[in-house]
Amino acid sequence: METKKWEPRIVAFLCNWCSYAGADLAGVSRYQYPPSLRIIRVPCSGRVSANMVLDALKSGADGVLVSGCHPGDCHYISGNMYARRRLALLKSLLEFIGIEPERFNVSWISASEGKQFAEVAREVTEKVRALGPARHLVKDF
């Protein structure tokens, strides 16, 4: 039976080496999670700029997930470290202006964490689902 409930749309920027592989592993291990994520493969979480996150929200994403290698595991040595600062500040600023904190999420998922990936996907989806569709920064006309 398919459940008929509102399915949020979440843009997920996943680094190629850890989190995208972790998402693959979730599939290989058949861990099930809601069909809400739209995964965009990026080389590194360090590739994800504040502009990109805002663009996803502007385009109508109900939530955004950025996921990279655990600190210290970055395939590119330190990309995730820069990402951590950038995204921490962005997250804080977005919350400051009243964007619900649950809309923008950052996680670390390694290539061996298929289960964790599914759990993060579930957690993010359910939190966003509870908020309802995004309104604040969505461009529409």
In whole angstroms, what is the distance from residue 127 CA to residue 36 CA? 12
| Residue of the chain from 59, 128, 132, 133 that contacts other proteins (CB under 8 A) | 59
Tell me which of 8, 9, 19, 128 binds other proteins, using CB under 8 A.
9
Count of Cβ atoms closer than 10 Å to residue 53 Cβ: 24
Q: One symbol per residue from 117 to 136: x for binding other proteins (CB under 8 A), - otherwise; what is it?
A: xxxxxxxx-xx--------x
- Residue 46 CB, shortest distance to other proteins, in Å, is 3
Q: Do 45 and 66 meet the contact criterion of CB atoms below 8 Å apart?
A: yes
Tell me how far the alpha carbon of residue 73 is from its chain's centroid.
Answer: 18
Is residue 52 within 8 Å of residue 13, measured between CB atoms?
Answer: yes
Neighbours of 102 (CB within 10 A): 17
The nearest distance, CB 98 to other proteins, in angstroms, is 3
Interface of this chain with other proteins, residues 89 to 108, rule: CB under 8 A: 89-101, 105-108
CB of 23 to other proteins, least distance (A): 5
Would you call 95 helix, strand, or coil by DSSP?
A: helix
112 is an interface residue for other proteins by CB under 8 A:
yes
* Residue 138 within binding range of other proteins, rule CB under 8 A: yes
Provide the residue type at 26 as one letter. A
Contact pick of 39, 128, 132, 133 for other proteins (by CB under 8 A): 39
